[in-house]
Each structure stands twice: as C-alpha cells, then as structure tokens.
A and B are shown apart, each in its own frame.
Chain A
C-alpha cells in the first residue's frame, strides 16, 4: 500500500553518486537550494534542469520509481501552477475565455515556481536515495563541527536526524501492518463517506503511537546497554574520504552558479 513511498528511503545500487563523500553531497544540496533562486528566465531554468537530469542519470535511480514515489507531490505542483495562472495578473493577456483571463506573467510565474519546486524535491530526495542514514549523519557532523564552538549540540542533532531517517521506513511498514489488521476487522480506509474515513484513522493512529513510543524507549535502553555516552571522545570506524568525483561535482556546481549569475535577466 505504502510501497511506493520514497521519503527517507535509501536505494542501495552502485553508482557515481552513491560513491560520493556524504559531505560533498550535503554541500551540493545545500548550495543547490540556494542557487536555484538565482534563476529567473527560461534558459537558466533549463540549465538547472539539465544539471538535475545529469545528477539523476549518474545516480542510476530508476526514473519510474522516482516518478511513482513523487506522484503525491505532483498534485501539489499542479495546484501551485493553477493558482498562479488564475490569480497572477501581470503582463499581457494570452487567453481570454470571457470570465477567465490568463496573463503571460501568471503563466511564467506558475511555470517557474513549479519547476523550482520540482528540481528542489528531486535533488533533495536524491540525497537520501543515494546516501545511507549513517553516512548522512557522519557528513553532517563533520560539516557542522566548527559550530561546536558556539555551543551547538552538533553530535546530538545529527544523531536525532539519523534516527529519524532510519525509522521512516520502519514506521511505514508498521503503518501498513496495522492498517491491514484493522481492515481485517472491517475498517474501510479507502472508500465510504468522509466522516467514516476520518473516524477510521483512530484505530490506526493509536497503535502506531503506542508502538513508536515503545520503540523509542527500547532504542534508548539498547543504546545505553551498549555503552552510548554521547559524542565526547568518540572515534569513527568509517573514515570519510574526499575523492576526485567530489571535487569535479563541486566544480560543476561553481560553474553552474557563475552561468546562472551571467544569465540573470
């Protein structure tokens, strides 16, 4: 049922992007999120699209899988697009259906915002799809290390993040299991009047929360039992290694940034 969900999922295949250092991937995503706001015309959006496409190809994540996983978000994107078309009244009128006037400004705005949204989602999902949670945490911790001076609880933050990432698929599985158990007891989650369907959430949420809290408690005990004492003086078994690919991709991002600045209109 929730099979197609890709949020927080790691797909273990062998690809260039998978082999990259998590630090460079994190930096890449962070910078990408910033520079996407530089784009303000068709060419620059095309350029970002091309860059995204190259990343996707390099990652070897099957496009169909990605598409199925992001389908629920597609609705949101189309919704934004339509809103802009209907309510942004800038520039010249392109269509006129009597009661409905569509302006070219609205069309542009709608298109750009939808594209921006799409690229952002794609690139950020690529991070979790190609990097296992432990590596993400390692990368985060190393990158944020300098902020420790200002009393930022870097280790704790990255631990929290990795636990959250790690448990998204588990929670999905659990949801699926409980849904099935309640369906066997006559609950109908997918049809019937809205009121009934909202009521059907209770038998799902209660067991889910109960098990999530239980899981959290067990995890805490298991960590303590194995001697977890926080990040102080802790060494790493897996050392992060910066490779040529990382340098190359960071460079390509710099080139992209320069191009975007030049292309701004």
Chain B
C-alpha cells in the first residue's frame, strides 16, 4: 500500500495560546513494500508524522493519501477503520496500551476489533507471540505481571496479530537489552522481506537505519531536511553531525582513520564486513 504526503502541516492545539507548529511542508512518498527509516533530533516531529500515517491525526493543511483513501485537512473523515486495519502502529513505549486480564486476550483485542473470529485471533496470538520470541506459557498470565521488556514484546505481538500491510514503528526497541533489540529488529526485517510489509521505522540508532532501510528520511525542525539511500545520507557525515545526529560506528571509524592516518575512502561502509574489506584495500594501497 502506497502512502503519499502532500504539503502536510500540523499544528498542535490550534487556536489556543499553546498552538505549536510541529510539522510543515512535509512531502513524502512511501511506496508499497519499501523499508523507510526516519531519523531526526528529539522533538523534530517524527512521532507526530507517524500518527498521520493511519489518520490518528489529521493534517491542519495539505493532504495524505493512504492506499486509495485521501485524508484532507478541514474535512470530516468517517470510517477510518479500514485504514487502521491496514496500517499498524507500534507506538513509543507500547507497553502502556496493555489492559486485558491475560496476554492472550490482549493480543486478540486488535484482530477481534477488526472482525477476526475468536478462534483465528487465538491462532494469530500464538504465532505473533512466537514471532516476538516468547513462550506460549505466558498466554495465560496477566500482562501486568511481566517485566518491562516482556510487556514490550507482548504489545508488539498485539500489533503484529492484526496482520497489517504497513507497519509503522516508533522506536520499538528503545530501552531493550542489546540482544533483544537485535532479535526484534531482525524479526521486523524478516516480516518485511517475507510478506512484503511496508515498514516505516523511527529510530535513533544510525546502525539500524543503515542496516535495514532502503530509504532514510531526515526530519529537522518539523520538516523533511533530506532523503536518500543510506549511502547518500552517510556519504556526507559532516552534515549529519552538524544537525546533532550521529553516524554509524563504521562511518565514524572511517572518519577517524581519515583524520588520523590520512586514509582515503571513496564511499561510506555501512557494515563491519564492508569496512574490513575497504580497510584491507586501503592498507594494500598504502603498502605499495
């Protein structure tokens, strides 16, 4: 499903003394089956942007096309359920949305709201729980008896069980342990590859953005500052550092080598293997 944003502006608490311009002149086109990473400083409007992707927020100016529906500012929108079904959002700290008595019921909640039968929902719950790497035993437990990280996984499973066409992720791994982060991020990537789910990931981890995304969008002060492939984006590391953003460790290492030893690289390396090859090449050049 394709999502297109045109000249989107969003003001929080419009017409009050607290009015705050959170987004302006945002244009983007997220094609079906792509993996997009959105990076940007804290407060740059990433979460606000995400909430537009399934019509939880309506732009105060401009329009958004989600599949074959167009959401325009100033129009009353009804029947958004179809959009909500096909675009699943994992919010920042999704564990706050748990409420049912058991983990199973909570995971089934989303699918059943969208008309899935109880039996199918339960099957989906088992599958989703496995995807997030948790045991079936936990199904009968209360979600409030789990640890923070376990709650996070259950909440993510609740969104996966809706089987959306588009998956929107707002820092899904913030606060998880390193191993857990890897597992979850890899799982999302697998889903993206296997089922062609369009994925939109907000992250502060440049490594994740570099590793998974086809396209990276940099948000800065409420608007799109730059977009491009990870190569494009990280080939100008100075610009990123100026914005107060980071670059992947591999690129930082390249910068350091360049500065300290005068080694020249033609392109940014986005994985450790790639970096090792390039360093080897550079050393051989240097020896000759």
The distance from the CB of A132 to the nearest CB of chain B, in whole angstroms, is 14
Q: Which residues of A contact B17 (CB under 8 A)?
A: 11, 13, 61-62, 65
User: Cβ of A180 and Cβ of B91 under 8 Å apart?
Assistant: yes
What's the Cα separation between A3 and B60 when bound, in Å?
A: 14
User: Cβ of A178 and Cβ of B96 under 8 Å apart?
Assistant: yes
Question: Would you list which residues of chain A between 58 and 93 have a CB under 8 Å from chain B?
Answer: 61-62, 64-65, 68
Question: Would you list which residues of chain A between 7 and 66 have a CB under 8 Å from chain B?
Answer: 11, 13, 61-62, 64-65
Q: Which residues of A contact B62 (CB under 8 A)?
A: none
What's the Cα separation between A148 and B159 when bound, in Å?
A: 55
Whose C-beta in chain A lies nearest to the C-beta of B116? A186
B contact residues, total (Cβ < 8 Å): 30
- A203 contact from B85, B94, B99, B159, Cβ within 8 A: B99
Question: Would you list which residues of chain A between 119 and 169 have a CB under 8 Å from chain B?
Answer: none
The distance from the CB of A103 to the nearest CB of chain B, in whole angstroms, is 40
Which of B8-16, B28-36, B224-232, B258-266 contacts the other chain? Answer: B8-16
- B56 contact from A68, A184, A203, Cβ within 8 A: A184
User: Cβ of A65 and Cβ of B113 under 8 Å apart?
Assistant: no
User: Cβ of B96 and Cβ of A186 under 8 Å apart?
Assistant: no
Whose C-beta in chain B lies nearest to the C-beta of A210? B144
Q: Which residues of A contact B13 (CB under 8 A)?
A: 3-4
Q: Which residues of A contact B109 (CB under 8 A)?
A: 185, 203
Question: Would you list which residues of chain A between 177 and 194 have a CB under 8 Å from chain B?
Answer: 177-178, 180-188, 191
Q: Is B54 an interface residue (CB 8 A)?
A: yes
User: Cβ of A181 and Cβ of B99 under 8 Å apart?
Assistant: no
Question: C-beta contact mask, B82-93 vs A, less than 8 Å → 1, else 0?
Answer: 001100110100
What's the Cα separation between A261 and B78 when bound, in Å?
A: 55
Q: Is B158 an interface residue (CB 8 A)?
A: yes
What's the Cα separation between A13 and B18 when bound, in Å?
A: 11
Q: Which residues of B contact A94 (CB under 8 A)?
A: none
User: Cβ of B159 and Cβ of A185 under 8 Å apart?
Assistant: yes
Q: Is A202 an interface residue (CB 8 A)?
A: yes
User: Cβ of A186 and Cβ of B114 under 8 Å apart?
Assistant: yes
Q: Is A207 an interface residue (CB 8 A)?
A: yes
Q: Is B110 an interface residue (CB 8 A)?
A: yes
What's the Cα separation between A185 and B87 when bound, in Å?
A: 10
User: Cβ of A185 and Cβ of B99 under 8 Å apart?
Assistant: no
Q: Is A211 an interface residue (CB 8 A)?
A: yes
What's the Cα separation between A207 and B97 when bound, in Å?
A: 6
Q: Which residues of B contact A191 (CB under 8 A)?
A: 78
Q: Is B102 an interface residue (CB 8 A)?
A: no
Question: Would you list which residues of chain A between 194 and 227 have a CB under 8 Å from chain B?
Answer: 202-203, 206-207, 210-211
Please report the number of residue pairs spanning A and B whose Cβ atoms sit closer than 8 angstroms: 71
Question: Would you list which residues of chain B between 38 and 67 have a CB under 8 Å from chain A?
Answer: 51, 54, 56
User: Cβ of B84 and Cβ of A184 under 8 Å apart?
Assistant: yes
- B162 contact from A4, A185, A202, Cβ within 8 A: A185
User: Cβ of B98 and Cβ of A186 under 8 Å apart?
Assistant: no
Q: Which residues of A contact B51 (CB under 8 A)?
A: 180
Question: Would you list which residues of chain A between 203 and 258 have a CB under 8 Å from chain B?
Answer: 203, 206-207, 210-211
Q: Which residues of B contact A62 (CB under 8 A)?
A: 16-17
User: Cβ of A206 and Cβ of B99 under 8 Å apart?
Assistant: yes
Given contact pairs A181-B96, A202-B99, A207-B97, A186 touches B110 in the complex (Cβ within 8 A): yes
Q: Which residues of B contact A206 (CB under 8 A)?
A: 99
What's the Cα separation between A177 and B84 when bound, in Å?
A: 16
What's the Cα separation between A216 and B81 when bound, in Å?
A: 35
User: Cβ of B54 and Cβ of A184 under 8 Å apart?
Assistant: yes
User: Cβ of B81 and Cβ of A188 under 8 Å apart?
Assistant: yes
Given contact pairs A184-B84, A184-B89, A186-B114, A211 touches B12 in the complex (Cβ within 8 A): no
Whose C-beta in chain A lies nearest to the C-beta of B115? A186
**9 A–B contacts from the bound complex (CB under 8 Å):** A4-B16, A65-B16, A181-B89, A181-B96, A183-B56, A184-B91, A185-B84, A185-B109, A203-B99
| B contacts, CB < 8 Å to A | 12-18, 51, 54, 56, 78, 81, 84-85, 88-89, 91, 94, 96-99, 109-110, 113-114, 144, 158-159, 162
The 7 A-B pairs at the shortest CB distance, nearest first, are namely A186-B113, A206-B99, A181-B97, A185-B110, A3-B13, A184-B89, A203-B99
